[in-house]
Amino acid sequence: KAGVTQTPRYLIKTRGQQVTLSCSPISGHRSVSWYQQTPGQGLQFLFEYFSETQRNKGNFPGRFSGRQFSNSRSEMNVSTLELGDSALYLCASSLSRDRGLDEQFFGPGTRLTVL
Amino acid sequence: AQKVTQAQTEISVVEKEDVTLDCVYETRDTTYYLFWYKQPPSGELVFLIRRNSFDEQNEISGRYSWNFQKSTSSFNFTITASQVVDSAVYFCALSEAVNFNKFYFGSGTKLNVKP
């Protein structure tokens, strides 16, 4: 079974630009979550999508947005990039059926560098 | 508020030594879930264990063991007879019953196992 895939793996952008990152969950998984990892703030939850609807949201500005498609693939978008947006963006997927037994599987991440 | 503290930023041991990674958490919920993930240099978070708040049984899996104590809000992770391949950053995480896939991560402990 293929794992969670994220594209692209590396990205370099300049301030003010926008960027779109993609995540393909494990087949059959309906929940996709996004996390930002930086040396200063660590791993922070961005948002979760389930059945094409945002189910949870972290404390990030509106420049960070996402969506999920009917095949459960998800994209996140960051507009008006700032230097502080440089980070590893991780995507995780889960079946999201039984909380007591569910498990999130993480992708390899997209390394975004903002110059 | 939910919070996970991993006070040990970095630990260095020599191969075959035992090492314990500490994790202390805060939550007001009575039902919650605790996790440990391993992040090798490649960046992908690898799931190690999930523990439900109502199950305080300790667990052993090969060289890995976990000690969950609700009385001290701790969920510590011990590696017995460490190996060089155990070198990675280890994260402890907390989620709550309502927003199960919204993880609160600790800051991570970098483990260096030297030959």
Mean residue pLDDT across chain B: 93
The Cα–Cα gap between B93 and B102 comes to 10
Starting at the edge strand found earlier in the chain, the sheet holding A5-7 runs A5-7, A19-24, A74-78, A64-68
Of A81-85, A100-104, B94-98, the one with minimum mean pLDDT is A100-104
A92 pLDDT band, cuts 50/70/90, is very high
Q: Is B69 an 8 Å CB contact of chain A? A: no
Q: Is-contact A54 A34, C-beta < 8 A?
A: no
Confidence class for position A84, pLDDT limits 50, 70, 90: very high
Cα distances (angstroms) measured from residue A53 to each of A45, A67, A73, A91, B115:
16, 8, 12, 16, 49
Task: State CA A95 to chain mean position distance.
Answer: 16
Q: Which residue has the tokens 């391949």?
A: B85
Q: Position of tokens 């922070």?
A: A44
Given a cut of 80, is residue A19 above it in pLDDT? yes
Q: Which residues of A touch B44 (CB under 8 A)?
A: 106-109
User: Which among B18, B23, B55, B20 is positioned nearest to B36, based on CA atoms?
Assistant: B23
Amino acid identity of residue A108, one-letter, is P
Q: Is the CB of A90 less than 8 angstroms away from the CB of B42? A: no
Q: At B6, list the tokens.
A: 């991993």
A27 within 8 A of A93, measured Cβ to Cβ: no
**Residue A79 contacts residue A88 (beta carbons within 8 Å):** no
User: Nearest by CB to A43, which of B42, B44, B105?
Assistant: B105
Nearest CA in chain B to A58: B102
Considering only CB atoms, which chain B residues are within 8 Å of A33?
101-103
User: Which residues 6+ apart lie within 8 Å of A101 measured at CB?
Assistant: none
Percentage of chain A exceeding pLDDT 70:
94
pLDDT of A100 above 70: no
CB B11 within 8 A of CB B112: yes
Q: Residue A49: is its pLDDT beyond 70?
A: yes
Q: Which residues of chain B have pLDDT under 50?
A: none
B40-53 pLDDT tens trace: 988 889 999 988 89
Cα nearest neighbour of B43 on chain A: A108
> Does residue A51 register a pLDDT over 80?
yes
Model pLDDT, residue B39: 95
SS3 of B73, please?
coil
Is B104 within 8 Å of A45 when comparing Cβ atoms?
yes
Average pLDDT rounded to a whole number, residues A89-110: 84
Residue B98 CB contacts under 8 Å (≥ 6 apart), including other chains: B29
pLDDT of residue B59: 84
Query: How far B31 CA lies from chain A's nearest CA (Å)?
Result: 10
